[in-house]
Amino acid sequence: MPRYASIAFPFLLTEYAARKQPELCGKAFVMASRQRGRMVIDAVSMQAAKKGIANGMVLADCKAVFPELGMMETEPGRTEKILQALAEWSIMYTPYAAVDLPDGLLLDISGCAHLWGGEEAYLEHITAKLNSYGYTIQAAIADTIASAWAVARFAEPMTIVKQGKQRDALQSLPPAALRLEATILARLKKLGMRQIGNFINMPSSALRRRFGKELPKRIAQALGTDIEWIVPVQPVEPYQERLSGMEPIASAIGITIALQQLLEMICARLQTEGLGLRNAVFRCYRVDGIVQQLDIGTGHPSRNTTHLFKLFEHKIATLEPALGFEVFVLEAPKVEPVTDEQAAIWNAATQNDKKVAELLDRVTAKIGPGAVSRYLPAEHHWPERSIKQAVPLWEKPVTEWRTDLPRPIHLLPVPETIEVSAVLPDYPPMLFRHKGTRYSVAKADGPERIEQEWWLSDGLYRDYYVVEDDKGARYWLFRSGPYDGDYPKWFLHGFFA
């Protein structure tokens, strides 16, 4: 006999928002979106619901009654994404979990509940887990999807309907528990049928003549005489390959062969899907239970087994097999599409070659992450924000390097304080002292004023000077703010070639 669990999340969006922003916990707030020129409430928190605020109300009307009511704008598609993630999480309880829009999940728990000690313990375990994540739920278990849905939302919380007893469980519930259209609900209310028990035992032909096909169909689904299906979610299969040995492997040659086979297997799959890996983890499970692993990363999506093996090769010697490894697993936690023509690392035609990227991967694998970097211009005037690191290395710039004004080849991440002597406050310095060394200025050009980007941060403007000392070295100096009777602060910010 099939059994189904229905889980409803009455405050799904607001509780999700409270998880992301803990300061919202325990407060009355709503999620709203603009509809026909008005902000209409899409979701309410538990505290807001206790004040009588419900979905579909106009936000302005509610704020007039409760001025302290908080509001967040609804993000389109967020509900579907949350329910999809929760359905995939539910696969730990059943292989058949489905999203039940707009506010719930459906689980086919046939043959699963006994693993938790029965249906009551099964439901309690799910409830406790979701409550610990900050979600309030209403759940029920029944023989049919429709009856489980109805009982979860309109009966006592955490109800378990005994097998074959769904008719009895539905008797006292309102007609809305059958998921009927608003027009049918209005007609039933007009006739005084305020409970399902008022009409559930009527002949289907009579109900069909008066209310159409939907009402008898919903009753048949609830009682199990009409089949209703769920469409289970299909979680993305991880890019992972596994290899088991008939005997423990303790030699470097054996480990190398296992790694090469796994690389060929995973790259063949990536080839069929038009993908390449960016990160890979090679795990070795020792017979004594200890797990050792090797990690690599690539600068571009790659499915070249030879190249990937070279990244792992020099790390194999770091493994300690002891009595031997019995299982090897290769996983690619991050993959990206591979186009027929990969983007260039630099603009120069001689460097538009994957070989360059593979060389950089090998250098990074030997020296360590962060050893090779590339920088691009950013759309900012403030010097510290005018450059950014390319991730990945072949990322294309969105703007051009500034060439109309001089910029140092080496920009200090944080300007360093210097002592300056100048003829007049607005003149370039005649000499400056940096880290105990005195520099005499032979030439100077400037000032170039750069204002703070007010939409990002507050602060004083800067007047920059390009200066050259008596030995020919050139520096980028600036004065912070105006001269207002006190000595302004001067800084060294970069070095020219």
CATH number at residue 251: 3.30.1490.100
Q: In this structure, are 439 and 304 located in the same domain? A: no
Domain that holds residue 462: 410-495
Cα distance between residue 207 and residue 125, in whole Å:
40
Residue 383 lies in a domain: no
pLDDT given for residue 350 in this prediction? 44
Cα distance between residue 6 and residue 149, in whole Å:
5
- Mean pLDDT of the region 463-488: 86
Cα distance between residue 337 and residue 485, in whole Å:
60
Share of the chain above pLDDT 90, in %: 50
* Structure-token match 């006592």, residue found: 156
Q: In this structure, are 175 and 297 located in the same domain? A: no
Cα distance between residue 447 and residue 495, in whole Å:
17
With cut-offs at 50, 70 and 90, classify the pLDDT of residue 481: confident
Q: In this structure, are 26 and 117 located in the same domain? A: yes
pLDDT digits (tens, 9 = 90+) for 348-365: 444 445 666 777 777 777
pLDDT given for residue 485 in this prediction? 60
pLDDT of 347 strictly over 60: no
Of the ranges 54-63, 307-316, 423-432, which one carries the lowest mean pLDDT score? 423-432
pLDDT given for residue 446 in this prediction? 82
Q: In this structure, are 290 and 200 located in the same domain? A: no
Residues 6+ apart with CB under 8 A from 377: 386, 387, 388, 397, 399, 400, 401, 402
Chain length of the chain? 497
With cut-offs at 50, 70 and 90, classify the pLDDT of residue 484: low
Backbone angles phi, psi at 214, to 5 degrees: -65, -45
How many structural domains compose the chain? 3
pLDDT given for residue 354 in this prediction? 65
Q: In this structure, are 198 and 224 located in the same domain? A: yes
Classify residue 190 by its DSSP letter: H
β pairing state of 97-100 and 462-469: unpaired
Cβ neighbours, 10 Å, residue 310: 15
Residue 231 lies in a domain: yes
pLDDT given for residue 486 in this prediction? 65
pLDDT averaged over every residue in the chain? 87
Q: In this structure, are 221 and 253 located in the same domain? A: no
pLDDT of 346 strictly over 60: no
244 CB-side CA count, 13 A: 2
Peptide bond into 447 cis (omega under 30): yes
Q: In this structure, are 138 and 203 located in the same domain? A: yes
What is the domain-level CATH number for residue 30? 3.30.70.270
Cβ neighbours, 10 Å, residue 158: 17
Q: Is the pTM of this model over 0.85?
A: no
Cα distance between residue 456 and residue 474, in whole Å:
30
Residue 162 lies in a domain: yes
Cα distance between residue 137 and residue 128, in whole Å:
10
With cut-offs at 50, 70 and 90, classify the pLDDT of residue 344: very low
